[in-house]
């Protein structure tokens, strides 16, 4: 019976998590009532606190599960044998679509980061999620499809930062998924291909020159 007992407990925990996910999505974190979550999970209010220490920990569990599922979905969305660019395209599409579909939970995520006291942490499951991107990008670098002269974290911030902002824009405008966002992002990523060096054996790089000039201009306008 130890087995069915355990299953019952897990089912209850699942019910609470599911109820919490719904209520948080519907009413937002502040609008969500613990009593309402308990009611929908069909347990007494006190029972919730046997599974989660407090409202914030419940919120964290909801967000945690969401990103864990998202990681699974992302991995499933990527064609194993495909090229690096193709995989990036697939990941970007999957990510944008998910952000739009589950906009409410994504918004709530920032809430889970802020732990009352101080330093906004990095959630473990999000760290796990971005590894999917890192793995693809690393393969691209290993295969020399992408150059190694930009730190991966910076490229990653372009990738996720752009998609997150685009998703917000689209949702606020009541538009849905827009493939042009993906195309645009992929075109940007052409920049990371090493081809430009081959074309330019002298090592002369216009962007570097322009940057140097910008620095000089900055200095000048400051003085």
For a second copy, which stretch binds (CB under 8 A), given 10-18, 37-45, 58-66, 210-218?
A: 210-218
Check: CB of residue 88 under 8 Å from CB of residue 189: yes
Q: How far is CA 33 from the centre of its chain?
A: 27
204 binds a second copy (CB under 8 A): yes
184 binds a second copy (CB under 8 A): yes
4 binds DNA (CB under 7 A): yes
215 binds DNA (CB under 7 A): no
For a second copy, which stretch binds (CB under 8 A), given 39-47, 61-69, 133-141, 191-199?
A: 191-199
Q: What is the DSSP string of 18-33?
A: HHHHHHHHHHHHHH--
Positive or negative: CA dihedral 67, 73, 79, 81: positive
Q: How far is CA 88 from the centre of its chain?
A: 14
From 50, 148, 188, 194, residue interacting with a second copy (rule: CB under 8 A): 188
From 14, 26, 28, 35, residue interacting with DNA (rule: CB under 7 A): 35
Shortest Cβ 119–a second copy spacing (Å): 8
| Coil/strand/helix, residue 151 | coil
Look at residue 209 and give the partner it binds from DNA, a second copy, none, a contact being a CB closer than 5 to 8 Å depending on partner kind.
Answer: a second copy
Torsion of CA 77, 81, 82, 83, to 10 degrees: 130
From 145, 152, 164, 177, residue interacting with a second copy (rule: CB under 8 A): 164
C-alpha triplet 183, 85, 167: angle, nearest 5°: 40
Look at residue 212 and give the partner it binds from DNA, a second copy, none, a contact being a CB closer than 5 to 8 Å depending on partner kind.
Answer: a second copy
- For DNA, the closer of residues 1 and 204 by Cβ is 1
Shortest Cβ 26–DNA spacing (Å): 13
Closest CA to 150 of 99, 192, 205: 192
Cα distances (angstroms) measured from residue 116 to each of 65, 107, 111, 173: 21, 17, 10, 32
Shortest Cβ 214–a second copy spacing (Å): 5
145 binds a second copy (CB under 8 A): no
What is the binding site for DNA (CB under 7 A)?
1-2, 4-5, 8-9, 12, 32-35, 43-47, 49-50, 53-56
């Amino acid at each position: 019976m130890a087995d069915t007992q355990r299953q019952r407990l897990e089912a209850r925990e699942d019910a609470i998590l599911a109820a919490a996910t719904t209520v948080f999505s519907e009413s937002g974190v502040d609008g969500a009532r613990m009593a309402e979550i308990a009611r929908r999970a069909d347990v007494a209010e006190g029972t919730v606190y046997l599974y989660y220490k407090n409202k914030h920990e419940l919120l964290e569990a909801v967000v945690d599960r969401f990103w864990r599922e998202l990681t699974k979905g992302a991995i499933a969305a990527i064609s194993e044998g495909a090229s690096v660019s193709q995989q990036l395209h697939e990941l970007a599409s999957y990510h944008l679509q998910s952000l739009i579909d589950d906009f409410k939970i994504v918004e709530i995520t920032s809430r889970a980061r802020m732990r009352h006291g101080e330093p906004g942490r990095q959630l473990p499951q999000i760290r796990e999620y971005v590894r999917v991107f890192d793995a693809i990008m690393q393969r691209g670098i290993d295969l020399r499809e992408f150059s190694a002269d930009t730190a991966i974290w910076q490229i990653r911030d372009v990738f996720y930062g752009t998609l997150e902002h685009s998703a917000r824009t689209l949702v606020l405008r009541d538009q849905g998924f827009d493939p042009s966002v993906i195309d645009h992002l992929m075109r940007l990523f052409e920049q990371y291909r090493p081809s430009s060096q081959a074309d330019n054996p002298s090592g002369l790089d216009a962007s570097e020159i322009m940057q140097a000039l910008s620095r000089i201009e900055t200095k000048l306008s400051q003085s």
